[in-house]
Amino acid sequence: MLLSPNAMGRPLRTGLYLTTGLIAAFLLLPVVFIILLSFGSSQWLVFPPPGWTFKWYAQFFANPEWMDAALASLKVALLTTFAAVALGLPTAFALVRGRFPGRELLYGLFTMPMIVPLVIIAVAVYALFLKLGYTGTLFAFVVSHVIVALPFTIISIINSLKLFDQSIEDAAVICGASRLQAIFKVTFPAIRPGMIAGGLFAFLVSWDEVVLSVMMASPDLQTLPVKMWTTLRQDLSPVIAVASTLLIGLSLLVMFIAAALRRRAENA
């Protein structure tokens, strides 16, 4: 009936498909538009553009400010990924394997940075680093990003750890491995998809983070979104479209990697 396209009746079905098409187009519009815009030749973002060009890309890559920002973004994102996975791994083990009271509550605490509005985390952490004199440092960037990335790695690793049958690890111990050996040789390989997924999420969160970064930034150290943000407040230069396209491109790449890993894990 309402869940079977053949039985729901032509008018309803046509209406639904039409609506869906429009909404899907609405979802795709800004993404496709910004990519096209980055190749448009108009300085004033006329669309459709009078011609196509790579000159904004050339400008982007020739400008040391943009390049530094991109490099800083990459550095912060990689460090954040590493730190978030390293902190998330033991936490996920404790939450899934542990049999202590209050695990639900602890889970809630660990995922709270996901729920508390970013603005508030940003202001709170900014106040702290202001007092400590850490604003504008790489440390401040990474720490603030890890706060919001950590729930993603914890949840991802918990999800794959819950799917892993602990008796396999016990079997390795029976076979003569120590508990630690068993975890490293049996459990870690088994939950690797979750670790990688968590790492990718952490990377994406950091790579795209605006609010925290704007608060942490200094003229010497700013990430790509910060540079975009400050430029955006002055004018709508097409170079921002280039930066946006690069951000989208990297996000897409990470999504593809996640999908490919997922598929490989399923086929294995």
Partner 1 sequence: MKVAINALHNAQGAPSGTGAPGAAERRPPISQRWRGSRNLLPALLFLGLFFFAPLVGLLLRGVLEPEPGLGNYAQLFANSAYARVLFNTFSVAGLVTLISVLLGFPLAWAITLVPKGWGRWLLNIVLLSMWTSLLARTYSWLVLLQSSGVINKALMAMGIIDAPLEMVHNLTGVVIGMSYIMIPFIVLPLQATMHAIDPMVLQAGSICGASPWTNFWKVFLPLCRSGLFSGALMVFVMSLGYYVTPALLGGAQNMMLPEFIIQQVQSFLNWGLASAAAALLVVITLVLFYLYLKLQPESPVGNAR
Tell which positions 130-169 bind partner 1, by CB under 8 A.
143-144, 146-147, 150-152, 154-156, 158-159, 162-167
Dig out the tokens for 3 from the structure. 């869940």
d(CA 161, CA 168): 12
266 lies in the binding site for partner 1 (CB under 8 A) = yes
Given candidates 72, 88, 135, 239, which one binds partner 1 under the rule CB under 8 A? 88
Phi, then psi, of 2 in degrees rounded to 5:
-75, -10
Using CB under 8 A as the binding rule, whether residue 94 contacts partner 1 is answered as yes
Backbone angles phi, psi at 52, to 5 degrees: -115, 145
Q: Counting contacts by CB under 8 A, is residue 196 touching partner 1?
A: no
- The stretch among 55-63, 74-82, 95-103, 176-184 that binds partner 1 (CB under 8 A) is 95-103
Q: Which stretch binds partner 1 (CB under 8 A): 56-64, 74-82, 174-182, 235-243?
A: 235-243
Binding residues for partner 1, rule CB under 8 A, total: 112
Distance CA 229, CA 223 (A): 10
Residues 6+ apart with CB under 8 A from 174: none
- Any contact of residue 12 with partner 1 (CB under 8 A)? yes
**Which residues ranging from 54 to 83 are in contact with partner 1 (CB under 8 A)?**
none
Contact window for partner 1 (CB under 8 A) among 52-60, 61-69, 175-183, 199-207: 199-207
DSSP 52: B
Buried/exposed 18-37: b ≥16 CB within 10 Å, e otherwise: eeeeeeeeeeeeeeeebeeb
